[in-house]
A and B are shown apart, each in its own frame.
Chain A
């Protein structure tokens, strides 16, 4: 596929950067076969991850980020799912492992934290016992040792009065506490790779902050590799080393997190960042939402999947899907014919502006509002759909 170019890249980088490679995903495809047709949730994703680093996977709902994480973990999802490609964990292809072999890795080597702490704990079992059972399944410890380890873990994830809470049922704890319990449970057997699938989406903003800090701290202390799946750029900003931006099942931009924020290349990443509300904006500034909707994965547009919503769209975008290519030297990759900041991009913007393309006008509007920050911006004029 177009994405998996540069066969030399992975082999050189694994040695050059010091840390050894723990996960390498190559050309991963996942499809759901539905009555209405084949739904391509993940379309040829490749990346690699070094031990001890953290990766953020960002994208809208339906961009395939959760399915990607679950495909790598082989936690997929039903009989109508087909996964192809490969995901090497410590040199072993997870996608070709048997269920029995996979079960040996789950929990001890690879673990996952789920989005909704309300449903990811068994409502009928005391929280302490859920952690203890997990320990006893994988480690040869007796009940008392397991209980002590569970207590230490609950203390470590900052559950106050862990000694009394250990005998509580999940519904007796708050959402943040429950997420702490599921983190403790995931960390119990010291996995070397942790997937966090939108771990804070179901939580309050203040609790989000605490949970994210907890995860970052644990990741650093344990030298654990972490993949953080989220739809919120604010969640990964300053927390993960690398970032992968996904759109319609493909990686559209990939770089270190700092670089993604500083030298944004892909129009979609740029649009995501523009849509974050800023405190410098005047009150009631209209949110710079991305015009249009994410594509329906059963009926993807021809060419670049983002083209119907892109403010820089050109005829070429409708015809040819841009490959993910390296930009610069630091491993920054982007899949766009007219990357942000290039001259071609500026020309495309001017051309679309004079053609009065709705999404381009919307972007121009919000740029105006940015420049005249402090003065309340007017309502968008009626010409914008």
Chain B
């Protein structure tokens, strides 16, 4: 090589390319389908890695809370039975201490994560299913239905969701998680519908939709097979950005005392509870606040990273 007088930087190609690609997997890493997500974690920046690990930890802890050995009952008030103290600092049995009614803070954080995550994920799922269906129908079939639906969406969106939520939850006698999710669903579908409809509009103009018609595909089938799968990525991206907002929303409701009924643990409710003795012991407020912050930040960071990856990938396509 040196005979050609080439600078050494050219002669040292990365090892992956040195002998030339031998198969498609080497030419387009991750394209063969087998390891499509295998090397994604390795490509993350270190902060995103941390965020990703934190989210996995939160999700696992929430999912497996009942199975964690030695975890205290989140609603067990030790001082009533004489075996616990209120506003206790970290001890061997209560790693993060206890709150002002002597419940274990760590246990309540973990069970609170369950409420937050179930609320956020089920609302996102409802948004994708309901909004995706309505929006795809509106964007593909057009016509009077679209006009009506979009007018409804615009009206709905002009109504402040938080006030509506507060109003309805105040009215309701019973506020368990299922009821809260259903009430949230009333306000979540319009934004998803709008995004789905806009995406469906642009997808409908694509040649492959005409191609599908030209091979005799029915309109219903085109909606299900051609339009909806292409609307889905946009909705997933939107819901990833929307998840932290939904977590905050649940915490806000709980903080206002309008979330899940006490004594069920939730992060917002814990902060509200700790507010009463804030000047005596700040830690019962700090732990849920920090957890909330880290979770929301992690979702945002991860969503941002996914977005740049998707942009790079569609540019490569």
Interface positions of A (Cβ within 8 A of B): 73, 75, 103-108, 111-112, 114-116, 119-125, 133-134, 137-138, 167-168, 171-172, 182, 185-186, 188-189
Contacts and interface: CB of A to CB of B under 8 A. Distances in A.
A172 B317 CA distance: 8
A134 B215 contact: yes
B226 A122 contact: yes
A134 B213 CA distance: 11
Given A137-B221, A167-B33, A120 B216 contact: no
Given A103-B216, A106-B213, A122-B226, A172 B207 contact: no
Q: What are the 8 A-B residue pairs with the smallest beta carbon separation, nearest first?
A: A107-B216, A106-B216, A107-B215, A119-B207, A124-B229, A112-B214, A171-B317, A120-B207
A125 B229 contact: yes
B208 A189 contact: no
Interface in B28-60: 28, 31, 33
Contacts of A186: 214-215
Contact of A105 (B24, B28, B216): B216
A132 B229 CA distance: 17
A114 B206 CA distance: 11
A106 B214 contact: yes
Contact of B28 (A75, A104, A138, A172): A172
Interface in B192-246: 206-208, 210-218, 221, 225-226, 229-230, 232-233
Given A111-B214, A121-B208, A189-B215, 4 more contacts: A75-B214, A119-B208, A120-B210, A172-B24
Nearest to A124: B229
B28 A107 contact: no
A103 B218 contact: yes
Contact of B208 (A115, A120, A137): A120
Nearest to B221: A137
A194 to B, nearest CB: 11
Interface of B: 24, 28, 31, 33, 206-208, 210-218, 221, 225-226, 229-230, 232-233, 317
Nearest to B228: A124
Nearest to B23: A164
A112 B207 CA distance: 12
A155 to B, nearest CB: 18
A57 to B, nearest CB: 17
DSSP majority for the A interface? loop
Q: Residue among A112, A123, A182 with the most chain B CB within 10 A?
A: A123
Contacts of A185: 211, 215
A103 B213 CA distance: 8
Contacts of A133: 225
A107 B214 contact: yes
Contacts, number: 75
Contacts of A106: 213-216
Contacts of B33: 167-168
Contact of A116 (B207, B218, B229): B207
Contacts of A105: 216
16 contacts: A73-B214, A75-B210, A106-B213, A106-B214, A107-B214, A108-B216, A111-B215, A114-B210, A115-B207, A119-B208, A120-B207, A121-B208, A122-B226, A124-B230, A124-B233, A137-B217
A114 B211 contact: yes
A75 B216 CA distance: 11
A105 B232 CA distance: 31
A75 B215 contact: no
Given A167-B33, A172-B24, A122 B216 contact: no
Contacts of B210: 75, 114, 120
Nearest to A171: B317
Contacts of B217: 103, 107, 134, 137
A137 B212 CA distance: 11
A168 B317 CA distance: 14
Nearest to B317: A171
Nearest to B222: A122
A122 B229 contact: yes
A168 B229 CA distance: 16
A256 B213 CA distance: 32
Contact of B212 (A122, A171, A189): A122
Nearest to B212: A122
Contacts of A122: 208, 212, 225-226, 229-230
A167 B216 CA distance: 23
A106 B210 CA distance: 11
Nearest to A189: B215
A111 B215 CA distance: 6
A110 to B, nearest CB: 8
Nearest to B209: A122
A105 B213 CA distance: 11
A75 B230 CA distance: 22
